[in-house]
Chain A
Amino acid sequence: MVKDKVNIGLNSKTELIMNYIMETGIFEDRMDAAKFAMAYAIRSGAKPGESELETGKGTKWNIGSYDGFEEGIKDLILALYPETVTPFRDIEYFINVGLEMIGNGFEKNKDNALDYLLALMQNANKNEI
């Protein structure tokens, strides 16, 4: 049986993107930005476990202590992807993929970051595969 993750983390690339996003002051904390990225990835049609991601030494959230990702998100992943047995691994995957997607256009939109994120939210449906 595949073991699920206890800590969810970002890799070096997504850590950098996360830093850019946090500099805009749009999100209160990194957890909010991470959830946003996760939802954006799901809404854009990413499927869990499409590829392996390496996480680095950056931000990490502990699952066991429930200090970040509430049980509801795990349930949501399980509801959306009933075949999965590693919802937290999937969450990590979606966060990193979502951050990469956001990061692609972030550099040139950093002066209008809110507009950019709003556009992402509105266009997420269109991107859905």
Chain B
Amino acid sequence: MLKVKRLVLNDFGPFKGEQTIQFPDENGVVIIYGENMEGKTSLLNALRYALFGKVLGRGAYPVPLHQICNWESTKDGRFGFKVALAFESDGHQYELTRALVLKKKIIKPDCDEDYEQECYLRKDGDVLSTDQRDLELSQVMPEQVSRFFLFDGELLEEYEELLRDQSTMGPAISGAIERILGVPILVNARAECGAQLKEARKQEAKAAAKVESTKAIGLALGELDEKHKHHDEEINRLSETLDNLKDDRQKKETILSKNAYINARFDERRKLREDIAKLEKDRAIQEGRLKELMKDAWRGMLDSKVKELRSSLMKEEEDIQARVRQKLAESEAIKSRNEAVCKGKCPICTQPLSKELADSLKRPSPVEGSVSITENNRELQRLHHVLDRLGDFMPKDISTDLINIRNSLDNFKVDKSTMEDRIQEITNEVGTDSDTEESIRQAISDFARIVKQIASIEGGISRENEELAKIDKNMQELRENLSKIGGASTARERTKRELCDNLSTLFSDGVSVYRENLRQKVEHDSSVLFLKLTKGMAYAGLQINDNYGLTIIHNDGQEIPLRSASAEQIVALSLMGALQKNAPLRGPIIMDSPFIRMDISHKTNVLTALPHMADQVVLLVFGEELKPQMAREVLLGKLRSEFKMVKHTDRYTTIEKSLEAN
């Protein structure tokens, strides 16, 4: 159990000069208050630097160390910094000092290469050698599990990755979880047994090859063993490549996730520009249609006028035709009359005409001499001509089409304006940096390439494993034969091989059983803590998956698929508590800004639970995030010390023990 006793800072970040924080000996909670930009994250980084020689920025990126030198000190000509951490672990007293020191002959440093690091570890008063120091530190606080001791509350959300099957960060976190839980001890033992087993098999084959009766089997086993070795080597090579690719993928994913928001805006802007171009294209089509329609607009306007005229002309035509028919009938009558007068008898009844009748018929009819048929026909021809002329006039009602086009064009205007406004908003927000856009695009393309390569390598490993399985099967058959006919000459090697075999199986099974037990314990303990942290809510607990991802279970047994950032923090804290309880390796919990997203009731619950999660808890918070009065009322005697950061200038903060401290 590691316990921090004292931290001495010298020109580290905003902490100018030498400043000391003396942590209380008693178990409990220490709160360090500091407003934003005053140095909370720097303090967490000071601890990280002392233990691991690293400083991490936002997004867990390593920060160049020369940038951590106190700016005011460097202006005064004091370059570099030093952090000394005094701690206790398993009854031993340690003093770890790490410093960034300016190299000789460098006057104006501007990069990490201008400095060198110095690190000393004193154990119970004795300075350890470099190897002993590294070994000791790796045992007391391995860097791989540091995430469970030193963490930024804002990054607790990353534990949600454990619930995603395709996550790249998830396996890294679950690996760290297994590490803190001690799983690698068994896994390493299993691997050692596996190596011993291989050697025993090799020796058995060699022994068999020396005896005539089993020579063939021995040689075949030796040959298969060579093949096995070859495939093993290939799998190792591929696995190494795969690990590197996965590292690359995680790096790219981190870049993408860091830039996810900006990238989403770039994508949105690109899409909007494409949409506008499409809109312009559609508008051009509609405008083309409009112009086409407007060619005939004049016809539409004259439609009723032409119809009216046509109808009147047709009526006139009918009248003339009636007049012509009548004229023809009259002509026929005159012709008969003239014939009767000429012949002196009726052309129908052949009766002779009386003198009076003949005289009367000789007088001209009143219709004779009126408009002639020829004239009527001429009039008809004129009418036909006019009607023919109108016949070419094809009116078109285009108003409906025009209204539709007008509506479309109006919509285009509105849509385009909305899109342009949004583009402007995005540009105001993320700028017009085409280099950034290009680098994100490159990262996306690299990511896709790496994912493809990973799939290919995994396929290769899978094929190699299939080959290995075949070889293993053949070797197993040969060994069975050897057992039958080998007799005393290979008995010693066989016994050794069988022992290794059994041990290997035992450790393989042990790993599975241990993992399963751990999962159950972590699920139980995290559920108990989760229920404490969410007191009063309708939850039944947490359910663990193979990756140690935790799902919230409602009282009705249903899983809660979506959860808020604060719920995510509560779940992550529950996991932290469970890991602390079940891990062979324990230490302090040092958290930066853990309460930002929590409401008062959750803050109260978390504060109440904190002293039970670890013996030593250090909180780095700002006043609004956690009111000192509230912390004191909830923690009571468990609150051991309060410190306050006092900002003197942008680059100068001091850490002072609060007057109100217990």
Question: Is B406 touching A115 in the complex (CB atoms < 8 A)?
Answer: yes
Looking across the interface, which residue of chain A has its beta carbon closest to that of B387?
Answer: A79
B90 within 8 A of A: no
Q: How many residues in B have their beta carbons less than 8 Å from beta carbons of A?
A: 28
Contacts of B298 in A (CB 8 A): 35-36, 38-40
Say yes or no: is B378 at the interface (Cβ < 8 Å to chain A): no
Q: Is A42 an interface residue (CB 8 A)?
A: yes
The verdict on B292 contacting chain A, using a C-beta distance below 8 Å, is: yes
8 Å CB interface, A106-121 against B = 114-115, 117-118, 121
**A32 CA to B298 CA, complexed, in Å:** 8
CB of A101 to closest CB in B, whole Å: 12
Whether B302 lies near A39 (C-beta < 8 A) is: yes
Is A125 touching B304 in the complex (CB atoms < 8 A)?
yes
Task: Kindly report which residue of chain A lies nearest to residue B403, judged by CB atoms.
Answer: A118
Report if B260 contacts A (CB, 8 A). Answer: no
Is B297 in contact with chain A by the CB < 8 A criterion?
yes
Interface membership of chain B positions 281-317, coded 1 if the CB is closer than 8 angstroms to chain A and 0 otherwise: 0000001001110110111111011100100010000
Cβ-based interface call for A122 (8 A): yes
User: Known contacts A114-B290, A115-B406: does B393 contact A121 (CB below 8 Å)?
Assistant: no
Q: Mark B367-393, 1 if CB is under 8 A from A, else 0.
A: 000000000000000000010011011
Q: Is the pair A28, B295 in contact by a Cβ cutoff of 8 Å?
A: yes
A contact patch SS = helix
Check A43 for interface membership: any CB of B closer than 8 A.
yes
**Is A64 an interface residue, CB under 8 A from the partner?**
no
User: Of all chain B residues, which has the CB nearest A125?
Assistant: B304
The contact of A39 among B299, B313, B405, by CB within 8 Å, is: B299
Q: Is the CB of A121 within 8 A of B399?
A: yes
Q: How far is the CB of B293 from chain A (nearest CB, A)?
A: 10
The contact of B297 among A25, A72, A78, A121, by CB within 8 Å, is: A121
Residues in A with CB closer than 8 Å to B295 are 28, 32, 35
Given A39-B302, A43-B301, A122-B399, check contact A79 B294 (CB 8 Å): no
Contacts of A36 in B (CB 8 A): 294, 297-298, 301
Residues of chain B within 8 A (CB-CB) of A27 are: 291, 294
Contact A79 B389 (CB under 8 A): yes
CB pair A78 B389 closer than 8 Å: yes
Q: Which residues of B contact A117 (CB under 8 A)?
A: 297
A26 part of interface (Cβ distance < 8 Å):
yes
| A79: min CB distance to chain B, Å | 5
In the complex, what residue of chain B is closest to A122 when comparing beta carbons?
B399
Residue A6 at the chain B interface, CB threshold 8 Å:
no
Q: When the two chains form the complex, which single residue of A28, A42, A72, A75 contacts B294, counting CB atoms closer than 8 Å?
A: A28
B402 lies within 8 A of chain A by Cβ: yes
A31-51 interface with B by 8 A CB criterion = 32, 35-36, 38-40, 42-43
* CB <8 Å contact, B305 and A40: no
Q: Which residue of B lies closest to A121 (CB)?
A: B301
- Which residue from A28, A40, A72, A115 sits with its C-beta under 8 Å from B301? A40
Let me know if A63 is at the binding interface, CB within 8 A: no
Structural contact, B389 and A76, CB atoms closer than 8 A: yes
Complex interface: chain B residues within 8 A of A43 (CB): 301-302, 305
Residues on the B chain within 8 Å of A42, using CB: 301-302, 305
Using CB atoms, name the residue of chain A closest to B389: A75
CB of B540 within 8 Å of the partner chain: no
Tell me, yes or no, whether B409 is within 8 Å of chain A by CB: yes
**B409-A114 in contact (CB<8A):** yes
Within the assembled complex, what's the spacing in Å between the Cα atoms of A78 and B386?
8
Q: Which among B297, B298, B306 has the greatest number of chain A C-beta atoms within 10 A?
A: B298
The answer to the question of A80 belonging to the interface, with a C-beta cut-off of 8 Å to chain B, is yes
Which of chain A's residues have a CB closer than 8 A to the CB of B403?
Answer: 118
Q: Mark A82-111, 1 if CB is under 8 A from B, else 0.
A: 100000000000000000000000000000
Contact, CB under 8 Å: B294 / A32: yes
Evaluate whether A25 and B301 lie within 8 angstroms (CB atoms) in the complex, with A32-B294, A32-B295, A118-B399 already known: no
Nearest-CB distance from B405 to chain A (Å)?
8
A residues less than 8 Å from B399 (CB atoms): 118, 121-122
Given A36-B297, A39-B298, A28-B291 contact (CB < 8 Å): yes
Give the residue of A25, A28, A75 whose beta carbon is less than 8 angstroms from that of B292.
Answer: A28
Give 6 closest A-B pairs by Cβ, nearest first: A75-B389, A39-B298, A28-B291, A39-B301, A35-B298, A72-B392
Can you name 16 extra interface pairs (CB under 8 A) apart from A76-B390, A79-B309, A80-B306? A27-B294, A35-B298, A39-B297, A42-B301, A72-B389, A75-B392, A76-B302, A76-B306, A79-B306, A80-B309, A114-B290, A117-B297, A118-B402, A121-B399, A122-B399, A125-B304
Some 30 contacts from A to B, beta carbons below 8 A apart, are A25-B287, A25-B291, A26-B291, A26-B294, A27-B291, A35-B295, A35-B297, A39-B298, A39-B302, A40-B298, A42-B302, A42-B305, A43-B301, A43-B305, A72-B389, A72-B393, A75-B390, A76-B389, A76-B390, A76-B393, A78-B389, A79-B389, A80-B306, A82-B386, A114-B402, A114-B405, A118-B403, A121-B301, A121-B402, A125-B304
